[in-house]
Amino acid sequence: MLDITKRPHTAPFDTARLDRLMDDAGVDVLLATSKHNVQYLMGGHRAFFFESMDAMGLSRYLPVFVYLKGAADKAGFFGHRMEGFQNEVKPFWVAEINTKSSGSVDVMEKAVDYVRKIAPKPKRIAIEVAFLPVDSAAVVRKAFPDSEFTDALFVLERLRAVKTPDELEKLRIASDAVIDSMQAVIQNFGPGATKAELTEALRREETTRGLTFDYCLIAAGSSLNRSPSDQCWEKGDVLSLDSGGNYHGYIGDVARMGVAGEPDAELVDLLAEVEAIEQASMQPIKAGVLGKEIYAAADAVLHTSKLHNHIHFLAHGMGLVSHEAPRLTNSGPVPYDAYDADRPLETGMVVSVETTLQHPRRGFIKLEDTVVVQPSGFEIYGDRIRGWNRAGRA
- Give the residue-averaged pLDDT of 294-306: 97
- What is the pLDDT at residue 393? 76
Residue 385 to residue 179: CA distance in whole angstroms: 8
Q: Which range among 2-11, 176-185, 305-314 shows the weakest confidence by mean pLDDT?
A: 2-11
What architecture (CATH level 2) is domain 165-390?
Answer: Alpha-Beta Complex (3.90)
- Is the per-residue pLDDT at 3 higher than 70? no
Give mean pLDDT, residues 152-161: 98
pLDDT, residue 8, reads 62
pTM of the model: 0.95
- Alpha helices (H) along 189-241: 195-208
Tell me the average pLDDT across 161-179.
98
Contact 368, 353 (CB under 8 A): yes
Taking the C-alpha atoms of residue 32 and residue 77, their distance in angstroms, rounded to an integer, is: 10
**d(Cα 300, Cα 302) in Å, to the nearest integer?**
6
Question: In angstroms, what CA-CA distances link 379 with 3, 139, 236, 253, 292?
Answer: 42, 46, 34, 15, 19
Instruction: Please determine, for residue 1, whether its predicted confidence score (pLDDT) is greater than 50.
Output: no
CB half-sphere exposure, 29, CA atoms < 13 A: 26
pLDDT-based confidence at 128, cuts 50/70/90? very high
Provide mean pLDDT across the span 366-371.
Answer: 98
Section 223-238 average pLDDT: 98
pLDDT tens column, 343-357: 999 999 999 999 999
Look at residue 394 in the predicted model and tell me its pLDDT: 62
pLDDT in tens, 203-229: 999 999 999 999 999 999 999 999 999
**Mean pLDDT over each residue of the chain, to the nearest integer:** 96
Give residue 126's pLDDT band: very low, low, confident or very high (50, 70, 90): very high
Q: In the chain, where do the E strands start and end?
A: 29-32, 55-56, 59-60, 64-68, 76-80, 96-101, 124-127, 148-151, 212-220, 238-247, 250-259, 311-317, 350-359, 363-374, 377-381, 388-390
Count Cα neighbours of 13 within 13 Å in the Cβ-side half-sphere.
25
Query: How much is the average pLDDT of 245-250?
Result: 96
Amino acid at 393: R
* Backbone phi and psi for residue 368, each to the nearest 5 degrees, phi listed first: -140, 135
Find the mean pLDDT for residues 176-197: 98
CATH class, domain 4-160, is alpha beta
More confident call, 57 vs 6:
57
Boundaries of every domain in the chain: 4-160, 165-390
Question: Residue 7: its pLDDT value, please?
Answer: 60
Q: What is the DSSP annotation of 19-63?
A: HHHHHHTT-SEEEE-SHHHHHHHTTS---GGGSS--EETTEE---
